[in-house]
Amino acid sequence: MAKNVFEDLGFSPEEAAALKLKTDLHTKVVKAAAPYSQRQLQTILDESQPRVSDLLRGKMSKFSLEMLVIYAEKLGLRTAITTKKARSRGAAAGLALML
């Protein structure tokens, strides 16, 4: 069993690292958005109600990593991507999201 569920699903280590990064960021954005109503989030994120709904309902394919970073920053989260050398897999396995 791989450390990354996306590898277990058959994605390459590189794709799995990118998907895990996006998933982790999405989770943190949704948690930061929890205290707000959808109407408040429309204003904070400068987005339409359907777009806010998609975000909160987990429709991650509709959002780029870049857009999730923008949302995180607007919600007061500090984002950074750090890399480190992986021990047994390709360098992509060493990506981490720091919030």
Q: How far is Cα of residue 19 from the mean position of the Cα atoms in its chain?
A: 8
Mean residue pLDDT of the chain comes to: 88
Q: pLDDT digits over 10-66, tens only?
A: 888 889 888 999 999 999 999 999 999 999 999 999 999 999 999 999 999 999 999
Domain of residue 72 covers: 5-98
At 84 the pLDDT is 83
Q: For the chain, what is the domain count?
A: 1
At 73 the pLDDT is 97
Which CATH number fits the domain that encloses residue 80? 1.10.260.40
Q: What gap in Å lies between CA 74 and CA 58, rounded to an integer?
A: 18
More confident residue, 88 or 20: 20
